[in-house]
Amino acid sequence: MFFINGIFWLWLFVVPTGILGFAAFWLYIKNPGNIIFSIIISIIGIVSGFFLAEYVRKKYGLDNFFGRISATPDIDGGNILDNTEKEEDV
């Protein structure tokens, strides 16, 4: 379970870090004089990724959070072809 939670934690950490890291890299490529802004944006991305992952871990639990994201409530618990009520209403 520790290994799975570690993967989920890293997954949540990488999203804001990667997005802001890409923005910082793009800003640096546009003008190398913006290196200080790129470093600041990268640090903000790392800190926000850490806080987001910890917030979700403490508030919801990582396995519960990712389980709800990947859930398919419209097809869970039965065969979707057996349910004809939805098609008749449309």
pLDDT interval class at 77 (50, 70, 90): low
d(CA 73, CA 19): 29
42: which 2 tokens? 């990268």
d(CA 42, CA 64): 29
- pTM recorded for the entire structure: 0.72
10: which 2 tokens? 């890293």
Residue 72 lies in a domain: no
Our count of domains for the chain comes to 1
Residue 56 lies in a domain: yes
Cβ proximity of 63 and 8 under 8 Å: yes
Residue 6 lies in a domain: yes
Tens digit of each residue's pLDDT (9 = 90 or more) over 2-20: 898 899 999 999 999 999 9
For residue 5, give its domain range: 1-13+45-67
Residue 30 lies in a domain: no
Residue 82 lies in a domain: no
Residue 1 lies in a domain: yes
